[in-house]
Amino acid sequence: MSEFQRPEGEIGALWSKQGKKGAYFTGEVTIDGKTTKIVCFQTKKSSERAPDYRILKSVPREQAAPVTDDDVVF
């Protein structure tokens, strides 16, 4: 089987997941030949200039900081 070839310009992909506290995305990005697994959560906007989503480097559960209610929109 041949290795998957991404379309030109694509650096990664995200998959929608449903968790206990709401929807989020998981995936990976490859930049300069280095692939990093990521997770993406929607934020509660505190102002118009605040981001709509936060992208974090994915870490194994035993190493992860707990996600609080402030991190996920309900």
Nearest one of 17, 13, 6, 10 to 28, comparing CA atoms: 13
Nearest one of 48, 19, 5 to 39, comparing CA atoms: 19
Give the Cα separation of 57 and 36 in Å (integer): 7
Asked if 15 and 29 touch (Cβ cutoff 8 Å), the reply is no
> What integer pLDDT is reported at residue 63 of this predicted model?
60
Asked if 53 and 40 touch (Cβ cutoff 8 Å), the reply is yes
Q: What is the pTM of this model?
A: 0.68
Taking only the tens place, the pLDDT of each residue in 11-60 is: 999 999 999 889 999 999 999 999 999 999 999 889 999 999 999 999 87
